[in-house]
Structure 1
């Protein structure tokens, strides 16, 4: 099981994986741990990440970003219209948002879920390249303010990409988990919690949350947001400023041209980052901006902050609302952590410090904290990793109410999940109805949600009938918010109550179990004989009483929620697989074309350089003409979009000319060493034969017939060697070699194998003479006699006395 966390932002994304050494944020093919959230289409293929962002200016009609903000939206949605102010989107007027792109020489209409799935496919392939294994299971980040419909759409996008999303994790909760899991100094469960505030200002939105930490636990206290306040709004301030500057100074309108607007936005983003680290005026210079006019201007940080005052006021308002919602005072807060790229703006840091009266902490990686939290969550859910126990109590930002049709006096609306209710959570409800009915789930305060529709879904409960008395039946059902933050209604049941007659239990005390274990024939004191008891029961039958019993009957449930059906998802999966196959095909075609171009330059350099002596002037002139013709063809419109087979055929025809020249050069370099080795082998075998003929002890065990076989084989190879050497000496460099270096190597191996197998034959072992059976006995008797007679091999020497 893969353990992967995806932080999918509106502007940039990151990928975390779990290895044996811990959590790691991996780099993409550009060695960058941040992947731009861009998708681009051309007539031949699609691009994601860095490759797509590079086409933002040149292919702006078919390059899309910010598609996560379009999930589950309608074309007339105010947020969709707002996105068109930032990106040149071609949105078709259909029931849901569909973006038109030119792909494979036709105009296609792709949904926001499909575009998100295309980008998730890129993140998935990057993770697979790093892990060297298929990736299916994952945890995906989601803004805490996403509504039910948007969360369902993101799950659909995950399925389109072939991912099994184990959990949609709120970005604020992921950051809190990344912070809390590695802190070992948290208070005990019964002590006052450690309260931390997390402020996340990204490219398009702001989120702030207050979290209470204890050992092994985090509890979300409150969360606030502004879904239309982020780094791009500060970019827009700079763009408006420079647009007015250029209009007054150079009489050019940067907003009159899409490309000029995009170039200006890119440069303004650079200026914003430079101003975060410098208080001196920052210049902006763009060459050939409009009508071949070079433009330049400057701006100071103080002027930028003055122009951004309305945006900064909204930041302060969101942070102050957090204190109110969480019922906290600044002194109750232990630490304030800031994450997100836009928190690097000095003015935002200053507002955070003024609001919470604490200097903001930057111990968390501003760009990677969310991805790390998602990966930790995936590791907790995975059976392959052991993570220390850590309980997470998230909260529901928007209160949810249920309503159903009822009588005028009947209370037919109920708030099931109040604001900041902990999730996941299930609640059991009881409703009294006599007919099938419909339940509507809605967000209670439509103006508080960042979505135009407050309706979550409609749930039809069928097969409801009156009870036995003809009155309303008791209906029980579960209302649940899942771990993904999605509302569901489950297990509707109709409870039937009815009466049954049962025998009343005797009031007499029950016989102890020991009495039952007595041997047959014995009587327990105070107990009547069995026969008498049976007679008594017959005379006084047990009294019958009525008791109530219940029976549960499962009811039919039909949910109508804004989510793609299985058939629609399967169709989109097929389209995604088709696009993946098209990309693979286009990559192979491009590689084949590049191989032709690479070979043209490579062989041309060799023919004019190292290989010049190995081709005749006539052949060289002919081949150079062929190469020039192939190169000219390669850069024509005709060759631009040819099939892979055409390039392969072209490369084969060029190699038919070029490879023989390269082969002659290669043989010229390798052949001398092979000939020298062959001569050395012949010399060593000849030397060994001469030693045998001189009666050398090393070879005197060999048979004469064996040596004759060696001599015969040696003479045969000697003749072959002399014949080939003579032919090679007469050969011109432009001639094809009469014998290859590889053939010479094979002959050397055969010579050494056949000759040295005989010459290295080991000498036979000489066995010692065998003893007769009488010899051991005689030796034993002799030793026994010597011991008994006290004989020794050495005589004692007399002692020398002075």
Structure 2
């Protein structure tokens, strides 16, 4: 546990479609979800520019139809986002877009709490890479936050679940829990062991950072585009405004289909003055999205295999994320786990931020005994390693194969060391290319950074030994170091290329 800090520490669920912020209230002896400026407990992860000002949250989402090109939801990869209005142009990195959303949540918390907020725990998808984690840290820094910890979203939901069940005197001493977290833009599954004493041990994680409700919406939009093309012989696929209107209508229809078997989609003057009307059935929705649903179950199977657990050993299946309200998702999970009822006791939209607020309270030294006694043991989601070509004593491994240093699902924080030796006569430096991923081949994994160790004495090959050290902290962020044993010469690097923002860039953006 970190030392006690002053002020209230908050927990933030930074989602790709919606975000949420929560904090511990001593007065009420519990976590409370903090409403935004409009009084709502969840905020669209949406940023827009209207030519005069930057809009965030609901203000941004509400103008999306008339300003679709200058509106962006939580970004994922590393593009530069360009807003254009008449002759003026504004450019943002994904970290800057995320920081705008985080600052909005920070300000909402400060207004509600009546105090300045600095410390925060932020959640990330369990399957986020080191690059994405570092980018989130950068975004938090740009928003004026001290990030106490990054925590995986399903693990955060498990904290909420664990605290909820700890009050039940009839609960067994421990349970195996699978958290199925299907949101708007990402999908995570985590296998955990939760003890009544408050220890949460992550056994395995899996998921897909590009699978969620947005995918379901897009296939509905594509289906409607085809219907319009057949009826009217008009193609709306290149019309941004028309497609945005379709997307909004399809998202509403998707929600309606969770409570009804058929719903109409009606849009006046969709394209060239032509109205669009169709009926969308739940059966059609399930049919066109069958591939995505099957991927979800495949990830559950993979997670159980990685955790060396049979599905019959899972005591509880906890569902979180707005997309778990889809009947087909619940049906598939129930059937997969042989009729086991799904746990819906925690709020699907708020559980992740709730758990983050509990961890923030724990780390800051506040909260009641129940909060202070819980212990979290997490894992790294993806394997980390180096290009095998640097290794002299592994002739069975091809030059561009991935040599894993830390396998996925290793408990963190962790430190792993490996001894290597020079491969050539008079070799004076060692080059360590660091990768993350599960492929055998480095070219199919994510390149993180290169560490160059200079100052190796020029001797015949194999005489000089090097120690390579991988150190993953509690946030899941990697530090790599290498040392020449004979001289003690050492080089190290935190994988700062992950976020792609230098300290100078951070200073400039903040200004």
TM-score normalised by structure 1 residue count: 0.57
Equivalent residue, structure 1, for 2:141: 159
Among 445, 448, 451, the residue aligned to 1:456: 448
Equivalent residue, structure 2, for 1:484: 475
Does structure 2 conserve the Cα–Cα contact (< 8 Å) formed by 1:493 and 1:553?
Answer: yes
Shift of 1:482: 1.1
Equivalent residue, structure 2, for 1:98: 80
Shift of 1:101: 0.9
- Residue 254 of structure 2 is aligned to residue 272 of structure 1: yes
Could you tell me which runs of 5 or more consecutive residues in structure 2 were left unpaired when the two chains were aligned: 1-6
1:533-682 aligned at under 5 Å gives the runs 553=488, 555-557=490-492, 561-562=496-497, 563-574=500-511
CA spacing shift, 1:486–1:187, aligned 2, 3 Å: farther
The DSSP-based 3-state class of the residue aligned with 1:121 is helix
Structure 2 distance, partners of 1:335, 1:430, is 43
CA spacing shift, 1:300–1:493, aligned 2, 3 Å: closer
CA spacing shift, 1:248–1:487, aligned 2, 3 Å: same
Among 15, 24, 27, the residue aligned to 1:18: 24
Shift of 1:108: 2.4
Does structure 2 conserve the Cα–Cα contact (< 8 Å) formed by 1:404 and 1:439?
Answer: no
Larger Rg: 1
- Residue 189 of structure 2 is aligned to residue 208 of structure 1: yes
Does structure 2 conserve the Cα–Cα contact (< 8 Å) formed by 1:460 and 1:558?
Answer: no
Residue deviations 1:39-67, cap 9 Å, x none?
01122111100111112111112111131
Structure 1 distance, partners of 2:95, 2:354, is 24
The DSSP-based 3-state class of the residue aligned with 1:145 is coil
- Residue 375 of structure 2 is aligned to residue 400 of structure 1: no
Shift of 1:11: 0.7
Among 351, 374, 385, the residue aligned to 1:390: 374
Residue deviations 1:746-768, cap 9 Å, x none?
xxxxxxxxxxxxxxxxxxxxxxx
Among 113, 118, 125, the residue aligned to 1:143: 125
Could you tell me which runs of 5 or more consecutive residues in structure 1 were left unpaired when the two chains were aligned: 74-96, 497-551, 575-802
Equivalent residue, structure 2, for 1:445: 438
Residue deviations 1:474-498, cap 9 Å, x none?
55564211111111124x55556xx
Shift of 1:143: 0.9
Among 320, 343, 348, the residue aligned to 1:339: 320
Among 426, 448, 455, the residue aligned to 2:415: 426
Shift of 1:274: 1.1
Equivalent residue, structure 2, for 1:686: none
Structure 2 distance, partners of 1:404, 1:240, is 44
- Residue 20 of structure 2 is aligned to residue 31 of structure 1: no
Structure 1 distance, partners of 2:86, 2:12, is 30
Structure 2 distance, partners of 1:310, 1:104, is 42
How big is the alpha-carbon RMSD for the aligned residues of Structure 1 and Structure 2?
3.0
Once the two structures are overlaid, the 10-residue window that deviates more, 305-314 or 211-220, is: 305-314
Shift of 1:245: 3.0
The DSSP-based 3-state class of the residue aligned with 1:213 is strand
Shift of 1:571: 1.1
Residue deviations 1:374-410, cap 9 Å, x none?
1111111103445331221111222222357767546
Structure 2 distance, partners of 1:431, 1:291, is 67
The DSSP-based 3-state class of the residue aligned with 1:276 is coil
Structure 2 distance, partners of 1:108, 1:452, is 34
Shift of 1:437: 2.2
Query: May I ask how many residue pairs the two structures share in their alignment?
Result: 487
Does structure 2 conserve the Cα–Cα contact (< 8 Å) formed by 1:42 and 1:104?
Answer: no
- Residue 345 of structure 2 is aligned to residue 353 of structure 1: no
CA spacing shift, 1:242–1:170, aligned 2, 3 Å: same
Among 62, 81, 85, the residue aligned to 1:54: 62
Structure 2 distance, partners of 1:111, 1:409, is 43
Structure 1 distance, partners of 2:354, 2:495, is 35
Does structure 2 conserve the Cα–Cα contact (< 8 Å) formed by 1:186 and 1:194?
Answer: no
CA spacing shift, 1:303–1:287, aligned 2, 3 Å: same
- Residue 406 of structure 2 is aligned to residue 417 of structure 1: yes
Residue deviations 1:512-569, cap 9 Å, x none?
xxxxxxxxxxxxxxxxxxxxxxxxxxxxxxxxxxxxxxxx846344567413221111
Shift of 1:241: 2.9
Does structure 2 conserve the Cα–Cα contact (< 8 Å) formed by 1:267 and 1:284?
Answer: yes
CA spacing shift, 1:444–1:283, aligned 2, 3 Å: closer
Does structure 2 conserve the Cα–Cα contact (< 8 Å) formed by 1:405 and 1:437?
Answer: no
Shift of 1:464: 4.1
Shift of 1:305: 2.0
Structure 1 distance, partners of 2:41, 2:391, is 60
Structure 1 distance, partners of 2:324, 2:45, is 19
Equivalent residue, structure 1, for 2:108: 126
Once the two structures are overlaid, the 10-residue window that deviates more, 147-156 or 178-187, is: 178-187
Structure 2 distance, partners of 1:42, 1:452, is 40
Structure 2 distance, partners of 1:396, 1:153, is 17
1:74-113 aligned at under 5 Å gives the runs 97-102=79-84, 106-113=88-95
The DSSP-based 3-state class of the residue aligned with 2:254 is helix
Does structure 2 conserve the Cα–Cα contact (< 8 Å) formed by 1:337 and 1:361?
Answer: yes
Structure 1 distance, partners of 2:97, 2:258, is 33
- Residue 71 of structure 2 is aligned to residue 63 of structure 1: yes
Among 300, 303, 323, the residue aligned to 2:284: 303
CA spacing shift, 1:3–1:103, aligned 2, 3 Å: farther
Does structure 1 conserve the Cα–Cα contact (< 8 Å) formed by 2:483 and 2:490?
Answer: yes
Shift of 1:33: 0.5
- Residue 212 of structure 2 is aligned to residue 230 of structure 1: yes
Shift of 1:109: 2.2
The DSSP-based 3-state class of the residue aligned with 1:277 is coil
Structure having the larger proportion of residues in strand: 2
Residue deviations 1:541-600, cap 9 Å, x none?
xxxxxxxxxxx84634456741322111111111xxxxxxxxxxxxxxxxxxxxxxxxxx
Structure 2 distance, partners of 1:447, 1:325, is 17
Structure 1 distance, partners of 2:217, 2:503, is 41
CA spacing shift, 1:28–1:471, aligned 2, 3 Å: closer
Residue deviations 1:719-749, cap 9 Å, x none?
xxxxxxxxxxxxxxxxxxxxxxxxxxxxxxx
CA spacing shift, 1:495–1:377, aligned 2, 3 Å: same
The DSSP-based 3-state class of the residue aligned with 2:372 is coil
Residue deviations 1:253-287, cap 9 Å, x none?
442421111111111111111111112x3122222
The DSSP-based 3-state class of the residue aligned with 1:140 is strand
CA spacing shift, 1:259–1:495, aligned 2, 3 Å: closer
Among 35, 52, 58, the residue aligned to 1:44: 52
Residue deviations 1:331-353, cap 9 Å, x none?
21111111111111111110000
Does structure 2 conserve the Cα–Cα contact (< 8 Å) formed by 1:142 and 1:169?
Answer: yes
